[in-house]
Structure 1
Amino acid sequence: ELILSGNFDSPTKFDLNFSANRLSLAYEYDHLLSLSATRTNLEPYQIEVVWRVLNSYKQRYLLADDVGLGKTIEAGMIIKEIALRGRAKRILIIVPAPLKYQWQREMGKRFDENFMIYDSSYVNSLNRSLPKEANVWEYNDKIITSIDYVKKENVLPELERTKWDIILFDEAHKLSASKSGNTIKRTQRYRLAEALCNNCESFLLLTATPHKGDSYAFYSIISLIDPYIFFDEDNIDSIKLNKIMIRRGKDGIRDENGKPVFKGREVMTIPISFTEEERNLYIAVTDYVSRIYNIAKSVNNRAVGFAMILLQKRMVSSIAAIRSSLKNRLSNLIKEFVPTLTIEEKTRLKDYIKDPDSLDDWEKERFEKKLEILNLPNTPEELKLEIGSLKTLIEISESIKIDSKAEKLIDLIDGILKKDPNKIFYIFF
């Protein structure tokens, strides 16, 4: 009758009514409320992860998708979904220090979730302003902090006394534990996760490398999620594992037509030959490194021995890298500066030698810069000899005008660009 009489509402009113009904039905029947509450383009394979985690009895999972599949987005969606369902007010995200602000930006920009960064400066300011009996970790409900800050003995006890709805660890492979015979060693990072894993309902671990060949280390990470699911590291079966871990490679991701979403990866090893000048430098550096390493070994100076290994690595990295390290070492010897490691740095060195991934790239660069200038106590004659050796090595390195590796890389890029000028390159050093 309304149509026949020509009695129509305005288009604006119709659109508003339609949108209201659509949203009402979405919230009533669509169990993923976060789909309409995020500002990001979601892929079907990411939504699949969120759906699986949210439909589990407990939201305690190891998210171990391959690099590039969007674990941060998946985790953000899970956090947002649990929050929208009224089950998450207090959320703690623990990450490597360089990732703190990245996580803060992502959670704010994509999911409209505002997190406070907790570091020593902010925590100290809170301690000065809050009552003495107050716990600073209860002052804010949504916190991002760095793993190496909260693992400290003067920080962890206060954090350990707090309860959370969700705790998330990024780069979870750095929560390492090892077993030798009947001896079990847990790093500070692992002990931190162990202390917090039962202080929350939902517990998420993120890593692209969950298993690095050490069965006990993998078992230890799994035990943080569910300590009772497996008896020991020798009794891990895939059926039970799939209940708490999501692990997918890019090659297994398909679109709605069954076609691969990601192109295959072709790995090529490009052989490079030293020039005569580069070979002479390599031999000279190796002689220097071997001499200092053997002296360090004879006096049980592990740090200086490792410093020599770093110098050898710089040599095979690039001419510029070894030249910079040699100059850095020479500069400190001339100043007669004797760097030493703190107790914390000595512990970090032990962890790093055992597991290079225990440090992220930013930490590794800073730590290696300090290690490469470590030297042995020298007599004036020994100091003079080492300074002379370094000056000779630097002189040889500066006489080399062409870096074979860099030249090969440029030739490779030029060859590819001739075939496809629009090709984009990502270069990692």
Structure 2
Amino acid sequence: MTASVAYRPGDLIKARGREWVVLPETRPDLLQLRPLGGSEDDTTLVYLPLEPESPVAATFDLPDPAKPGSHVAALLLRDALRLKLRAGAGPFRGFGNISVEPRAYQLVPLLMALKLDTLRLLIADDVGIGKTIEAGLIAREMLDRGEVERLTVICPPHLCEQWQQELASKFNIEAEVVRTGTANRLERGLRPDESIFEVYPFTVVSLDYIKSDRRRADFLRACPEFVIVDEAHTCVQANTSTRHQRYQLIKGLAEAKPARHMLFLTATPHSGDDSAFHNLLGLIHPRFAGLSEMPEGEGRRHLREELANHLVQRRRGDIAEWRDTAGFPVRESREATYRLSGDWGRLFDDVLDYARGMVQRAEGGTKLEQRMSWWAALALLRCVSSSPAAAALALRTRLKAVEGETESEQMTELDQAASETVLDGAADDALTLDETVPAGTVESPEDGAVLRRLIDRAEALRGPRVDPKLVVVAAEVQKLLADGFKPVVFCRYIATAYYVADQLKSLLPADKAHVIAVTGELTSDQREERIEELGALENGLTPVLVATDCLSEGINLQRFFDAVVHYDLTWNPTRHEQREGRVDRFGQASKAVRALMLYGENNPVDGAVLKVILRKAEKIRKELGVAVPLPVDNTKVIDAIMKAVLLQTGRVAEATRQLTFDFVGTEAEVDSAWETARDRVTRTVFAQRRLRPDEVLPEWRKAVAILGGEDDVVRFVSRAVERLGAPLEPRRDHYRLPLDHLPSALRDRLEGIGLRGTLKIGFAHPAPSGVLHIHRAHPVVATLADYIAESALEDGNPDFGARCGAIFTAGVEVRTIICLLRLRHQITVEYRDKDGRHALTKSLLAEECLGVAVRGMAAPAVLDEVDALALLSLEPGHNMEDGQKTRLVAQAIEAIPQLEPQFDAIARRRAEELLADHRRIREASDARGVRYSVSPALPVDKIGVYVLMPMARL
């Protein structure tokens, strides 16, 4: 058995015949180690009592002068070491552990969060700006600072897998999904007194699973110290039992532990309900809920200023001031119409007459019978406006009363179910909904013959010969394809989606377009698989996706699509914006996206929804730059609009193109409410203090200087693969990387992570569809960097990464020695336990790679990135023999011991700067009793020694 020795993060030790770096989470008898030249994936645990030989302290060997390499290889090694850093010594602890390249504006919520004592922040950025990335950056930073150890994401059930995937792929956080289908598996093997949330540190929890009274108590007891609440606006309106349970859960989490860190995410913080909005603010702190009752004055102004520290909301226009290279596409919106005529127009008239008769016959019946007839009539109007397939199904389906319940209970259940299938989730703003065709008739035996005739007529209207709506959409999709766009066609019902997809397959050229349908009948995994398959299309095929609204929230489509066609109008403006937001968002490679709204020019149903809801919503969105939800109860609005359609006399053939229908006062009422909502949003939501670019960009640049940015990645990858025998092949908008030409050992590593063959890659964000965006944390970069660093540091091979070298150059006037140093810092975090009783200590590791120049006899000077790059990129003036290179390098290495005190001084100074960065960025930590200290691990690692000799003067 070995005796235990206290090692600290950053120490070098020798064990099992090789050198290792000690990592955090080390105990006296258990060491977590990373090979000296290896990656985080090579990390191992060493249990000291079972080791045959005790680890011993090690020192990093100086370069071997007998193995000089070229300056290109020296620069490759320097870039590899920077780009493989995961615990970088910059102002942010988490940047080395993320696999996404955040944009500078996405750092605003992170900096705001780190300035708060207890992190309570509402991120209400517009659709597509990147709230998930902003939340992930905050979570990763808090974990890597050692301030939290557990986190949970609470979200609607259909978003669970997406959150799990985003956390894993972008932030290296492996979370477990907790919902009905997974909870039993996760609970197996747990003690009766253990909770899933105590055993699994990172979880994604279905809101509807955890909100029940039975599960809520355990969750409140064991909930992690950091909580992200997605779609937070769905948790604060108590107009249904579902909403009430959600609100009680989130409110309980906020109140049970005031020190709990909580992030609230929503694109629609104010849904037109003032009480719901102020309930949402009250989750940040109860005093903010009081803004609703507080009169104008000094107290209200101070409270609003305080709220501004906890609320960030940006519109697309707000991002423009950042001059971000990613940018956002321009949305080009237009409309296309079809006309109900011939057999299709006559069928619509007869279905409208049938629906009116159904409502009129129920007037003498019970309230339940009246309500059933009303919903059935609305369903018929919705479906006959959608497609012949949906109309035929609705005519076949009877709406029946539920037995064993009171009339009042039946009406409540009926309204809730019908609002999902007929309206677009309007009664409850959670945008999940039923995509099946709703029942369009009620029990009425005498209607049997009439219904059969209507069904037969609807079935006969399939296809372009008799369906004018289908003809128009096929022509419009062909125009989009001809203009180079890749469209998503959104339909309201599953039956319509399959009908449209089948028809488009025969109407679009088979050698140009590949049409698929994705509906709510598929699981979320199956939907993602189908969409991913579209990225592998070859032979010039363009994907055309026909989808239901199961894809309007939760799956981002910007990688593969850049146009949206509304085949069916949505009756909810929030849903309309969500559809277009799937492609018009952060990461869209196209400079423009197109949105096409299709409607019947003489269809009274389309006309009513367009005039009173969608066009007014779009007008306000253009004015404010952000969508504003329908300002009054959507159900009441639709009821009033459809009454005008159902109760007025007249036929479709009599309707004019202008769609001038009488909405009996509803339009004026909604107009007034829209104005109020617009004023409220302008006055209340956007009146906040925001961090400006000049406050954020310096921190961003400092992080990039430590870890490497886009330019460093382009230089490193292009030079590395060329030196390894697989140079990049430029194409119009991307590069081809032939992995088969790489060394077999490197190729095997890449195949192990699913990369093989020839890759299509790009370095600029966003990358075109089907092209891998290669950033500093991409597996291609990480694997190349690990391979080159290991070749140089462990194998001593100077061909790929040179640790030493010498050249003659006209770029210097005196002998200049460049020393490539790697600094390792131990960060100690002192804090109190969750009860505030005991002092705890956590150790973290930070690393950086920097260049130091010794010019002549002068003292060593730290090089900034520009100077280091310039010196290591100098071209040789003329050839130098290998023997001379070896002598010059050996002479330089002999001087290293005399420079050691100065290198140590540099390391201590950098440690002080790192501590200052930590305190400045997380300035609220002192208020919470968190204390940081930073100490360098000495001696520093001398990675490389390079000699630049001046050219002889002629």
TM-score class, shorter: 0.7 to 0.9
Q: Name the counterpart of 1:108.
A: 168
**Residues 1:399 and 2:460 are matched in the alignment:** yes
Q: Cα deviation per residue 1:157-212 (whole Å; 9 max; x = unaligned)?
A: 22122232111121222124268xxxx99532222222222356211111112222
Output the CA distance in 1 between the equivalents of 2:187 and 2:354: 51
Q: Counterpart amino acid of 1:247?
A: Q
Q: Name the counterpart of 1:364.
A: 433
Kindly tell me: are residues 31 and 308 of structure 1, through their superposed partners in 2, closer, same or farther at Cα, counting changes over 3 Å?
farther
Kindly tell me: are residues 341 and 260 of structure 1, through their superposed partners in 2, closer, same or farther at Cα, counting changes over 3 Å?
farther
In the TM superposition, residue 82 of structure 1 has moved relative to its aligned partner by: 0.8
In the TM superposition, residue 269 of structure 1 has moved relative to its aligned partner by: 3.2
Do the aligned partners of 1:338 and 1:375 also contact (CA within 8 Å) in 2? no
Alignment of 1:139-288 (within 5 A): 139-177=199-237, 187-199=244-256, 201-233=260-292, 235=294, 239-254=305-320, 257=323, 261-288=327-354
Kindly tell me: are residues 397 and 354 of structure 1, through their superposed partners in 2, closer, same or farther at Cα, counting changes over 3 Å?
closer
Any gaps of 5 or more consecutive residues in structure 2? 1-63, 295-299, 492-954
Output the CA distance in 1 between the equivalents of 2:150 and 2:310: 22
> If you compute each CA radius of gyration, which structure gives the higher value, 1 or 2?
2
Partner residue of 2:378 out of 300, 306, 309? 309
Alignment of 1:14-33 (within 5 A): 27-28=88-89, 30-33=90-93
Do the aligned partners of 2:278 and 2:290 also contact (CA within 8 Å) in 1? no
Kindly tell me: are residues 126 and 114 of structure 1, through their superposed partners in 2, closer, same or farther at Cα, counting changes over 3 Å?
closer
Aligned-CA RMSD value: 3.9
Output the CA distance in 1 between the equivalents of 2:92 and 2:404: 51
Do the aligned partners of 2:238 and 2:247 also contact (CA within 8 Å) in 1? no
In the TM superposition, residue 53 of structure 1 has moved relative to its aligned partner by: 2.2
Output the CA distance in 1 between the equivalents of 2:331 and 2:78: 49
Output the CA distance in 2 between the equivalents of 1:274 and 1:260: 44
Q: How does the TM-score come out when normalised to structure 1? A: 0.79
In the TM superposition, residue 46 of structure 1 has moved relative to its aligned partner by: 1.4
Identify the structure with the greater strand proportion: 2
Q: Name the counterpart of 1:3.
A: none
Output the CA distance in 1 between the equivalents of 2:424 and 2:292: 20
Partner-residue secondary structure (3-state), 1:228: helix
Q: Cα deviation per residue 1:45-100 (whole Å; 9 max; x = unaligned)?
A: 21233222223333211211122111111111111111111122221111111111
Do the aligned partners of 1:151 and 1:189 also contact (CA within 8 Å) in 2? yes
Q: Counterpart amino acid of 1:358?
A: D
In the TM superposition, residue 357 of structure 1 has moved relative to its aligned partner by: 6.9
Output the CA distance in 1 between the equivalents of 2:375 and 2:208: 23
Kindly tell me: are residues 21 and 151 of structure 1, through their superposed partners in 2, closer, same or farther at Cα, counting changes over 3 Å?
closer
Q: Name the counterpart of 2:132.
A: 72
Q: Name the counterpart of 2:736.
A: none
In the TM superposition, residue 412 of structure 1 has moved relative to its aligned partner by: 2.5
Output the CA distance in 2 between the equivalents of 1:185 and 1:174: 10
Kindly tell me: are residues 398 and 55 of structure 1, through their superposed partners in 2, closer, same or farther at Cα, counting changes over 3 Å?
same
Q: Name the counterpart of 1:300.
A: 367
Q: Name the counterpart of 2:21.
A: none
Q: Cα deviation per residue 1:235-257 (whole Å; 9 max; x = unaligned)?
A: 58764443222111223312755
**Residues 1:424 and 2:494 are matched in the alignment:** no
| Greater mean alpha carbon deviation, residues 198-207 or residues 87-96 | 198-207
Partner-residue secondary structure (3-state), 2:439: coil
Partner residue of 2:183 out of 123, 139, 155? 123
Output the CA distance in 2 between the equivalents of 1:257 and 1:8: 49
| Greater mean alpha carbon deviation, residues 56-65 or residues 117-126 | 117-126
| Greater mean alpha carbon deviation, residues 343-352 or residues 93-102 | 343-352
In the TM superposition, residue 122 of structure 1 has moved relative to its aligned partner by: 3.0
In the TM superposition, residue 147 of structure 1 has moved relative to its aligned partner by: 1.2
Output the CA distance in 2 between the equivalents of 1:374 and 1:138: 49
Identity of aligned residues (%): 24
Output the CA distance in 2 between the equivalents of 1:26 and 1:185: 43
Q: Name the counterpart of 2:387.
A: 318
In the TM superposition, residue 114 of structure 1 has moved relative to its aligned partner by: 0.7
Output the CA distance in 2 between the equivalents of 1:425 and 1:354: 22
Partner-residue secondary structure (3-state), 1:161: helix
Output the CA distance in 2 between the equivalents of 1:260 and 1:407: 37
| Greater mean alpha carbon deviation, residues 385-394 or residues 203-212 | 385-394
Identify the structure with the greater helix proportion: 1
Kindly tell me: are residues 215 and 161 of structure 1, through their superposed partners in 2, closer, same or farther at Cα, counting changes over 3 Å?
same
Q: How does the TM-score come out when normalised to structure 2? A: 0.38
Output the CA distance in 1 between the equivalents of 2:343 and 2:111: 59
Q: Cα deviation per residue 1:375-397 (whole Å; 9 max; x = unaligned)?
A: 75x5xxx3x32433332221221
**Residues 1:413 and 2:470 are matched in the alignment:** no
Q: Cα deviation per residue 1:9-57 (whole Å; 9 max; x = unaligned)?
A: 85689977887789999844x2222222111122122123322222333
Do the aligned partners of 2:93 and 2:144 also contact (CA within 8 Å) in 1? yes
Output the CA distance in 2 between the equivalents of 1:271 and 1:354: 22
Partner-residue secondary structure (3-state), 1:229: helix
Do the aligned partners of 1:95 and 1:147 also contact (CA within 8 Å) in 2? yes
Kindly tell me: are residues 120 and 25 of structure 1, through their superposed partners in 2, closer, same or farther at Cα, counting changes over 3 Å?
closer
Output the CA distance in 2 between the equivalents of 1:154 and 1:341: 26
Q: Counterpart amino acid of 1:424?
A: K
Kindly tell me: are residues 91 and 24 of structure 1, through their superposed partners in 2, closer, same or farther at Cα, counting changes over 3 Å?
closer
Q: Cα deviation per residue 1:217-272 (whole Å; 9 max; x = unaligned)?
A: 21122212222124243658764443222111223312755889223323323343
Output the CA distance in 1 between the equivalents of 2:181 and 2:460: 47
Output the CA distance in 1 between the equivalents of 2:404 and 2:246: 20
Q: Name the counterpart of 2:356.
A: 290
Q: Cα deviation per residue 1:254-309 (whole Å; 9 max; x = unaligned)?
A: 27558892233233233432123222222222233334445667422246643442
Q: Counterpart amino acid of 1:389?
A: V
Do the aligned partners of 2:362 and 2:373 also contact (CA within 8 Å) in 1? yes
Q: Name the counterpart of 2:775.
A: none
Q: Counterpart amino acid of 2:266?
A: T
Partner residue of 1:388 out of 449, 472, 475? 449
In the TM superposition, residue 340 of structure 1 has moved relative to its aligned partner by: 6.5
In the TM superposition, residue 355 of structure 1 has moved relative to its aligned partner by: 6.0
Partner residue of 2:122 out of 62, 69, 92? 62
Alignment of 1:311-350 (within 5 A): 311-327=380-396, 329=397, 348-349=416-417
Alignment of 1:29-44 (within 5 A): 30-44=90-104
**Residues 1:52 and 2:112 are matched in the alignment:** yes
Do the aligned partners of 2:122 and 2:265 also contact (CA within 8 Å) in 1? yes
Output the CA distance in 2 between the equivalents of 1:191 and 1:295: 43
Do the aligned partners of 1:62 and 1:205 also contact (CA within 8 Å) in 2? yes
Partner-residue secondary structure (3-state), 1:385: helix
Do the aligned partners of 1:108 and 1:114 also contact (CA within 8 Å) in 2? yes
Output the CA distance in 2 between the equivalents of 1:360 and 1:60: 23
Kindly tell me: are residues 318 and 18 of structure 1, through their superposed partners in 2, closer, same or farther at Cα, counting changes over 3 Å?
closer
Do the aligned partners of 1:178 and 1:186 also contact (CA within 8 Å) in 2? yes
